[in-house]
Chain A
Amino acid sequence: MKYFQPQSVDEALEIAHTSEATFLAGGTDLVLHMRTGKVQPLGLIDLGKISVLREIKEIEGSLEIGSMATFAELGKSELVFRKAHALWQACQTMGSPQIRNQATIGGNLGNCSPAADGLPALLALGAEVCLSTKAGNEILPLESLLSRTPLLEQGALIRGFHIPMNGQKSGFAKLGRRKALAIARLSVAVSVQLNGSRTDNVRVALGAVGRRAFLSEALGQELSGQELNNELLEKGVIEVQRIVREALGTRASAPYKRVAVAGVFREALTSIIPEGGQ
């Protein structure tokens, strides 16, 4: 197996074009999958030395996050705390301090576990993904990318994410068996734009309910254009339970998750609905 450590994005794309090697981000999933034999790459392109891919910054009303930003870096960023709160919350509880120091948001998407902690938050926040190949760049909504199989074509690099900064409020909650080091059994992220006291452009995303994290456009529409209060919250609870029931069908976890989602959904909204909920 060959190992490449490019110093620039162009160099990485050139190697990917000519070598059929796999991109290596933080490695907290890939190193494990290589060991168990689940993944057997022909070569590795380690993106760890390309500093431009680690940047977290604000450009023209958009929050730009490089794919190699770690969960620890995102979880300590003031900008992410203020402008992408759901993502910031997801970064506090993912894995353990050691894993957050190594694991990256781009790797979270590339590995695309059903329980990936970063994806529901990015979906709710309306993130777009920037992909690059030697042929050029492609920018598309995360939900569109997540409907593709395979997720990425050979040689496509996840370069980063654009999150619109439109004053949206957002929240994230997950259910795990313990606080640290727990794979999410269920996660919910919600974002809302407020027009006075009325909701606008509500986006609700679920994780660990099915093969990949997904955005429920129907639920978002249902909850948009209304007074933000506890009544709306309880309406959302009934709807989100129906969505989980439909998504999981006869799976063994369905009876548990369709009940549990009520609490997780309420918790995700606690940072959005003002105290008292009136």
Chain B
Amino acid sequence: MIEIKLVVNEKPYTLNVEPSERLIDALRNRLGLLGTKEGCGEGECGACTIIMDGKTVNSCLVLAAQANGSVLTTIEGVGNRRSPHPVQKAFVEVGAVQCGFCTPGMVLSAKNLLDKNSHPSETEIGIAMSGNLCRCTGYDKILRAVKIAAEEGKQ
């Protein structure tokens, strides 16, 4: 076991993890943050997307130990029922959610884009969301929701 220090959703943690333990497993099993979903487990689908030191990563392809010293944001750290993040609000308004399994990863990819670039073009939105797959709704509503969230941010 090795000791790692993390800041997750603005709270500091010290954890003892196995060297081969993936970050997604540490988040779900040790911290009980079940909003991060495991889809394919091999970096294809983006359901396990989190923000690590200001960049989106697939938490199924990162070892917990690699994240030692990092600042992480999972879906639990983005908005809540009473005050949803603009991206979450737009997803609900547009109906960009069907089964919801891909949604946490989608929201984090969109949030990270808007944190860095408050006026993204359609191409920039397309690239930022290209690592997240949805097998229910198709992408029209999802991309529209991100565009709406970006426009809300401008006002």
The reply to whether chain A is a binding partner of chain B is yes
- Contacts from A to B (Cβ < 8 Å): 1-3, 5, 24, 27-28, 31-32, 34-35, 43-44, 46, 48-49, 72, 95-99, 101-102, 179-181
**Roughly how many angstroms separate A105 CA and B60 CA in the complex, as a whole number?**
20
- Selected from B41, B44, B65, the residue in CB contact (under 8 A) with A181 is B44
Choose one: A1, A46, A102, A180; the contact of B20 (CB below 8 Å).
Answer: A1
Contact partner of A72 (CB less than 8 A), chosen from B41, B49, B55, is B55
Neighbouring B residues of A28 by C-beta, 8 Å:
43, 58, 61
The smallest beta-carbon distance between B5 and chain A, in angstroms, is 12
B104 at the interface (CB under 8 A from A): no
User: Complex formed: what's the CA distance from A1 to B60 in Å?
Assistant: 19
In the bound complex, residues from chain B placing their C-beta under 8 Å from that of A34 are 20
Name the CB-closest residue of B to A72. B55
Contact of B43 with A99 in the complex, beta carbons under 8 Å: yes
A27 to B61, CA, bound (A): 7
In whole Å, how far is B52's beta carbon from the nearest beta carbon of chain A? 8
Instruction: Encode contact with A along B62-77: 1 for CB under 8 Å, 0 otherwise.
Output: 1101101100000000
Given A97-B56, A97-B128, A99-B58, verify A2-B19 contact (CB < 8 Å). Answer: yes
Q: B130: nearest residue on chain A (CB-CB)?
A: A180
With both beta carbons as reference points, the residue of chain B lying nearest to A179 in the complex is identified as: B130
B23 to chain A, nearest CB (A): 9
Q: What's the minimum C-beta distance from A180 to chain B, rounded to whole angstroms?
A: 4
Instruction: Report the minimum CB–CB distance from A214 to chain B (whole Å).
Output: 26
Q: In the complex, are the beta carbons of B19 and A98 less than 8 A apart?
A: no
- In the bound complex, CA of A184 to CA of B49 (Å): 23
- Please name the residue on chain B nearest to A32 by beta carbon: B42
CB atoms of B20 and A98 under 8 A apart: no
* Contact between chains at A3 and B42 (CB < 8 Å): no
Partner of B65, one of A5, A97, A101, A179: A5
3 nearest interchain CB pairs?
A96-B131, A180-B130, A3-B19
Q: Do A96 and B130 have beta carbons less than 8 Å apart? A: yes
B2 on the A face (CB < 8 A): yes
| Cβ contact of B68, chosen from A5, A95, A99, A102, cutoff 8 A | A5
- Measured between C-beta atoms, what is the minimum distance from B69 to chain A in Å? 8
Name the contact of A95 in the complex, choosing from B19, B60, B131 (C-beta under 8 A): B131
B22 near A: Cβ within 8 Å? yes
- Of A5, A32, A97, A99, the most chain B CB neighbours within 10 A belong to A97
A-chain residues with CB within 8 Å of residue B133 when the two chains form the complex = 181
In the assembled complex, 16 residue pairs joining A and B whose CB atoms fall closer than 8 Å, in A order, are: A2-B19, A3-B2, A24-B66, A27-B63, A28-B58, A31-B62, A34-B20, A48-B66, A96-B131, A97-B109, A97-B128, A98-B49, A98-B109, A98-B131, A99-B61, A102-B58
